[in-house]
Amino acid sequence: MSDATTSLAAPPGGRPASIRLTALIIASALFMEGIDSTVLATALPTMAHSFGVDPLQMNVALTSYLLSLAVCLPASGRAADRFGARNVFRAAIGMFTLGSVLCAQADSLTFLVVARVVQGIGGAMMTPVGRLVLLKTVSKSELVSAMAWLLIPATAGPILGPPLGGFIVTYLSWRWIFYINVPFGLLGIVLVSLFIREVREPEPAPFDVTGLLLSGVTLFCLMAALEAAGRGIGSGGLAVGLFAAAVAGGALYWRHARTQAQPVLDFGLMRIPTFRISVLSGSLSRIAVGAVPFLLPMMLQVGFGDSAARSGGITFAGSIGALFMRPFAPRLLRRIGFRNTLIWVGLASTALLATSAAFRPSWPVPAIFGVLVVIGFVQSLQFMGYNTIAYADVPRARMSAATSFYTTIQQLCLTLGIGVSAAALAASVALNGHARAMPGDFSAAYLFVACVAIFAPLVATRLDPMAGAELSGQTAAAVQAPLRMRVGASLRLLRRRVAGRIG
């Protein structure tokens, strides 16, 4: 593939094989990033013993990464425009890999925190710039298929982390949770250099240094406040102070951004209906989804008394459902449409999430596993819809700004999900006078986040019925057909595909 810089004025289409390869290369980098944080969470107690510190102090190893991520995310789009998306994506993989090596060499908590900051800088560039590479490489008609391939490793990473982390900590040194990133990182750098074409803006906007500083301070304070509130770091006064600082920083940024033609976080993108609805509706759903990686393992280990290994084996179920959806998603989106997907699949996703509140130790493991598989299956289609429709009407010249903005909001909502669910769980424990969290307390937390998620389909009703038709290949006749007929046709297609695979 040519190394020549591609102009955005004439976006290139690609052969299906090259599109699939591009998506999988990008997804593999996101898989490395996604699996890293969940593997680390499993290993924190062992690492605390190695450093000779209290295990509770090890939360800083997680928060330092998230905070550096928050500060650097807004700059990702501008960096890609100025230096080239491929160059920045390749450098981000290198930075993340270097941070992994430094983490593996850490002999103290302070050293580890510094190394995690290096990782966070790389991670902040990998996710939005990787998505930007895909958006600028494929045509709109190919985007749904490309997103389907992109989500396979990216979805599996965070769920494979817990069992992998448990295995490494049990049978190997904790340092291997970082060393395993090295071959993936080096291979990624080589593959990006060989197969990803360069794309950049011909006339990149200048860096808004003041906006970057203000947005960085605001996001830093907001993420720190969410972490403090959700994980119990520091006093309540600290969380309130951080929230106040975030509000003040946000107000200053808003005032500054109104004077800039191209601010670093461009809220003008919210004037685009498809982007606005994807951000608002998707944020509500992501708060609920962000709660699950915190609630589910805690419910199984603390509420049910399961071992870490047993818990990790069960939480893997969601990735199976998500991966199984991948072949069917493009055709389902084409038949049902983005609007109906976000409404009706969103309602189904919320109902299934609420069903998780009924989990009890007496439930057979296959029953819990089955529910989680279905949840992963449904949520995979839902979030493919969000992640694709967001860019349906964004001009190519604003794609960099859109990916930075969207990824920043996405990260904030996932973090908020942890804080909201932890607060709901703590409130239930306190109100019921329990010494520790019981299964009923986890049920209350699940129902609370489900109440948040139920508003997502309501927001999606504002989406135009023909929105995203160019992306999915949906026709006006298909939209005008009764929903019952479209759903029935989709289910028949699904049964035929499943029967063919089994046969």
Q: Label residue 477 by pLDDT band (50, 70, 90).
A: very low
Mapped onto helix, strand or coil, the DSSP state of residue 199 is strand
Chain centroid to CA 80: 20
pLDDT, greater one: 337 or 1: 337
Residue 97 sits in the same domain as residue 215 = no
- The C-alpha angle with vertex 327 and arms to 323 and 330, in degrees rounded to 5, equals 120
pLDDT, greater one: 325 or 364: 364
- Number of domains observed in the structure of the chain: 3
Residue 235 sits in the same domain as residue 278 = no
Answer yes or no: is 3 within a domain. no
Answer yes or no: is 106 within a domain. yes
Which tens digit of pLDDT belongs to each residue from 318-344?
A: 777 877 777 777 778 878 888 999 999
What token pair was written down for 116?
């995690």
Q: Give the model's pLDDT for residue 6.
A: 39
350 - beta bridge partners? none
Q: Which of 107-121, 140-154, 275-289 has the lowest mean pLDDT?
A: 140-154
The backbone torsions φ and ψ at residue 481, rounded to the nearest 5 degrees and listed phi first, read -65, 150
Residue 251 sits in the same domain as residue 307 = no
Answer yes or no: is 1 within a domain. no
Residue 257 sits in the same domain as residue 344 = no
Answer yes or no: is 5 within a domain. no
Q: Give the model's pLDDT for residue 7.
A: 36
Domain boundary among 247, 263, 279: 263
Q: Label residue 485 by pLDDT band (50, 70, 90).
A: low
Q: Give the model's pLDDT for residue 351.
A: 93
Answer yes or no: is 7 within a domain. no
Q: Is 403 exposed, middle or buried (0-12, 13-18, 19+ CB in 10 A)?
A: buried
Q: Are 441 and 303 contacting, i.e. CB atoms less than 8 angstroms apart? A: yes
Answer yes or no: is 216 within a domain. yes
Residue 430 sits in the same domain as residue 484 = yes
Residue 194 sits in the same domain as residue 291 = no
Answer yes or no: is 283 within a domain. yes
CA distance 390 to 143: 11
- Model confidence at 455: pLDDT above 80: yes
- Residues with Cβ within 8 Å of residue 181, at least 6 apart in sequence: 32, 36, 96, 97, 100
Q: Which of 181-190, 281-290, 328-337 has the lowest mean pLDDT?
A: 328-337
Q: Label residue 15 by pLDDT band (50, 70, 90).
A: very low
Domain boundary among 202, 237, 255: 202
Answer yes or no: is 342 within a domain. yes
Residue 337 sits in the same domain as residue 463 = yes
Q: Give the model's pLDDT for residue 491.
A: 53
287 - beta bridge partners? none
| CA dihedral angle for residue 42, residue 375, residue 370, residue 335, rounded to 10 degrees | -140
CA distance 279 to 147: 17
Residue 123 sits in the same domain as residue 216 = no
Percentage of the chain beyond pLDDT 90 is 15
Q: Label residue 414 by pLDDT band (50, 70, 90).
A: confident
Residue 229 sits in the same domain as residue 337 = no
Q: Are 32 and 186 contacting, i.e. CB atoms less than 8 angstroms apart? A: no
Residue 409 sits in the same domain as residue 372 = yes
Question: Global pTM?
Answer: 0.74
Q: What's the average model confidence in pLDDT over 10-33?
A: 64
Q: What's the average model confidence in pLDDT over 198-221?
A: 76
Mapped onto helix, strand or coil, the DSSP state of residue 151 is helix
Residue range of the domain that includes 494? 266-503
Q: Give the model's pLDDT for residue 4.
A: 37
Residue 270 sits in the same domain as residue 258 = no
Residue 45: give its domain's CATH number.
1.20.1250.20
pLDDT averaged over the chain? 78
Cα-Cα end-to-end distance for the chain: 39
Residue 82 sits in the same domain as residue 101 = yes
CA distance 396 to 38: 34
